[in-house]
Amino acid sequence: MMTYHSNIKAGDIFHARYLNYKGTEKRHYFYCIYAQADDPNNTLTEDIIGLMISSNTKFERLEEQGVNDYNVQVEIFGKKSWVCADKSFRFMLSDSTCEIEKKKISLTEKEKSEILNKYSRFYLEATRQMIANEK
């Protein structure tokens, strides 16, 4: 596989074809939350982190039950999907085992704000658990 990227930055949507931890090929859209190249505190430039976007209908069923956890509903190519703020994946742009392609998809400011809110809630919970474990 080859990696294709064109200046992927936080807030962009990209598609990745990659091998998961079991060595199985997967394909997903991701919402970029971090681009190492834009980090003034890091001298490396290859990594990006994205939140997985899923069109799995289980998220719709959860919403119907009043359970939303850390997911934000968005529309990708006319299909109901969810940005999973608790499912982040790190990719190296030079990794030859995956293809990464920036997509010309824009989310609304409201969707971006909701993603930031859910992502912040998730990391506050993770921080709470880490602090609780320190005591």
Mean pLDDT, all residues of the chain? 90
Q: Is residue 98 part of a domain?
A: yes
Q: Is residue 44 part of a domain?
A: yes
Q: Is residue 5 part of a domain?
A: no
- Of the two residues 65 and 28, the one the predictor is more confident about is 28
Q: Is residue 25 part of a domain?
A: yes
Q: Give the domain extent around 118.
A: 13-134
The CATH number assigned to the domain holding 65 equals 2.30.30.110
From the list 127, 132, 123, 45, the residue with the least C-alpha distance to 87 is 123
Dihedral pair phi/psi, residue 10, rounded to 5°? -55, 135
- In this prediction, residue 17 carries a pLDDT of 93
DSSP-derived 3-state class of residue 104:
coil
Contact 17, 2 (CB under 8 A): no
Classify strands 25-35 and 13-19 as parallel, antiparallel or unpaired: antiparallel
Q: Is residue 88 part of a domain?
A: yes
- In this prediction, residue 93 carries a pLDDT of 83
Q: Model confidence over 96-110: pLDDT tens digits?
A: 888 999 999 999 999
Number of separate domains in the chain: 1
Q: Model confidence over 54-97: pLDDT tens digits?
A: 998 888 888 888 777 899 999 999 999 999 999 999 998 888 88
- The whole-angstrom separation of Cα 35 and Cα 13 is 12
Average pLDDT over residues 32-51: 91
- In this prediction, residue 58 carries a pLDDT of 83
- Of the two residues 134 and 72, the one the predictor is more confident about is 72
- In this prediction, residue 11 carries a pLDDT of 96
Q: Is residue 58 part of a domain?
A: yes
Q: Per-residue confidence at 123, pLDDT binned at 50, 70, 90? A: very high
- The whole-angstrom separation of Cα 86 and Cα 103 is 22
